[in-house]
Every structure is written in C-alpha cells, then in structure tokens.
C-alpha cells in the first residue's frame, strides 16, 4: 500500500512538470558491485535497467527494474571424528530480489560533466533458497531444499559523476558510490531444516558499493538514421 501511494505521488509530480520540461526518455543499463563478508567471495551484485524520463532544470526522474543476487557463505557441520576432515553436511544458501525503482535524480552541472545525487525507492519481491547437502564420501548430494519468499521495499542513495566523457552525442556514463537498505539477512534467517541444526548466517542488513551505468539517448540515435 505504501509503495503504491509513493508511486502515484511520483507519477503526479511527473505530470505536473511535464509542461515545463523537455521530454526526452534516455534508457540506461548498469551493474552495482557490493562488498560484504557475509557472501562468497565477499561480494554480491545488482543488474539494473531503466529510463530517465525527462529533464527539467536540475531534476531528472528515473524509473527502473533491479535484480539483486548473492551466494552466501556455506555453513558446514563440524566432523565429529576429525575437525580437519570433510564436513558431513553443508547448508548452501543464496538470495535474489526483483524490484521496481523510482528515483528523483538531481543533477548539478552540464552534459559534459555533472555531479548527481540519486535518492531511490524500491519495491518488489525477495527470495531466499537453502540447499541441505550431505557427503556421500565422493561428493555432496541434495537432501532437501527450501525456498522462502516475501514482499520487500527499501531505499538507496547514490552520488557520483555523470557525463559525456567520450565526446558521444548518443552515449553517456555515470560512476557512483551507492548505499542501500536491502535486507537479505531477514529472508535467509527463515530457512530452517528440521533434520539439521545448521542455519544460514550470511546475508546483510544493508550494503555499500560502486554503481556503473551506461545511458543511451534513443531520440539522438533515431535522428542520425
């Protein structure tokens, strides 16, 4: 309900400034890389697609889709005979989320180079998966699997530089520092196998990382043809 109200308010804001702005949708695609010790290789990622709907002075609202995903460090059962031997069982967990985003991006500067600040609101679904594995002596085999799902909404904040750094009229780029409040710990903590005392201890309550985006001006591209 809250996410719907926020979306309606932003859409009304877009319509109210539409008469005074230059409507020129610019699509973008990007990748976010977050560091956190609760994940394998101490990292998880986000792939995002969207569009900057228009530009009005320093205001450039964006809408998009984001896919966060990460593999959590395994929780391994201690071998009762030899602590250095292969663990008898392993809990392998991971998470993913599909969310839509709305962001009133603020730009200070020109097309060549600008400082941008992006407060963003996301809403959608998050999914956690746990695989309980046992050792057969040669390899681990799947004993049981649990999948838990929930609704999610969270905010993020990004700041950095954006501009036409390669003298292109069609493409421009941004490099940002991004902090988000996506909580993957909560969904992973719901994974619980009755036949095992192993629990997921990974995930994160928030995250900070680097965001890279490529923007494509479709109108400029079509005018060239």
Instruction: Give the SS3 label for residue 82.
Output: coil
Q: Could you give the 3-state DSSP secondary structure of residue 26?
A: strand
Segment 185-204, tens digit of pLDDT: 999 989 988 877 787 778 89
Does 15 score more than 60 pLDDT?
A: no
Distance separating the N- and C-terminal Cα atoms of the chain: 44
Is the model's pLDDT at 29 over the cut of 90?
yes
Better pLDDT: 33 or 168: 33
Report d(CA 127, CA 144) in Å as an integer: 17
Q: Give yes or no for residue 6 having a pLDDT over 80.
A: no
What percentage of the chain exceeds 90 in pLDDT?
A: 54
β-pairing verdict for 26-35 and 43-52: antiparallel
Q: Between 224 and 39, name the one with better pLDDT.
A: 39
- pLDDT tens track for 79-133: 777 777 788 889 999 999 999 999 999 999 887 789 999 999 999 999 999 999 9
What are the chain's domains? Answer: 2-224 (2.40.160.20)
β 89-109/43-52 pair status: unpaired
Place of tokens 């992973």: 188
Taking alpha carbons only, the member of 14, 15, 25 closest to residue 50 is 25
- Whether residue 58 has pLDDT greater than 70: yes
pLDDT attached to residue 76: 82
- Average pLDDT (138-156) is 94
Tell me: pLDDT of 217 over 50.
yes
Hey, which bits of the chain come out as E strands?
26-35, 43-52, 59-71, 75-76, 89-109, 114-135, 140-163, 171-180, 207-217
At 164, the pLDDT band (50, 70, 90 cuts) reads: confident
Task: Give the model's pLDDT for residue 152.
Answer: 96
Does residue 220 carry a pLDDT above 80? no
Tell me the per-residue pLDDT of 64-85, one tens digit each, with 9 for 90 and over: 999 999 998 888 887 777 777 7
Q: What predicted TM-score, i.e. pTM, was given to this entire model? A: 0.84
Tell me if residue 4 falls in helix, strand or coil.
helix
* Sole residue written with tokens 């392993």: 90
For residue 21, is pLDDT > 50? no
């Amino acid at each position: 309900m809250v996410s719907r109200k926020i979306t309606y308010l932003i859409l009304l804001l877009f319509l109210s400034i539409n008469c005074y702005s230059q409507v020129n949708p610019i699509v973008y695609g990007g990748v976010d890389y977050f560091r956190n010790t609760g994940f394998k290789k101490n990292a998880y990622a986000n792939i995002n697609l969207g569009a900057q709907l228009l530009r009005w002075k320093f205001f450039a609202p964006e809408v998009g889709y984001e896919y966060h995903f990460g593999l959590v460090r395994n929780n391994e059962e201690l071998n009762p005979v030899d602590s250095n031997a292969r663990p008898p069982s392993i809990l392998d967990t991971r998470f993913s989320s599909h969310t839509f985003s709305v962001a009133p991006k603020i730009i200070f500067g020109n097309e060549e180079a600008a400082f941008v600040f992006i407060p963003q609101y996301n809403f959608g679904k998050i999914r956690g998966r746990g695989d309980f594995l046992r050792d057969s002596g040669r390899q681990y085999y799947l004993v049981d699997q649990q999948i838990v799902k929930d609704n999610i909404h969270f905010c993020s904040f990004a700041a950095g530089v954006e501009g036409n750094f390669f003298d292109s009229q069609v493409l421009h780029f941004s490099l940002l520092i991004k902090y988000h409040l996506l909580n993957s710990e909560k969904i992973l903590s719901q994974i619980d196998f009755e036949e095992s005392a192993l629990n997921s201890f990974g995930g994160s309550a928030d995250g900070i990382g680097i965001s890279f985006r490529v923007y494509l001006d479709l109108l400029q591209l079509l005018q060239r043809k």
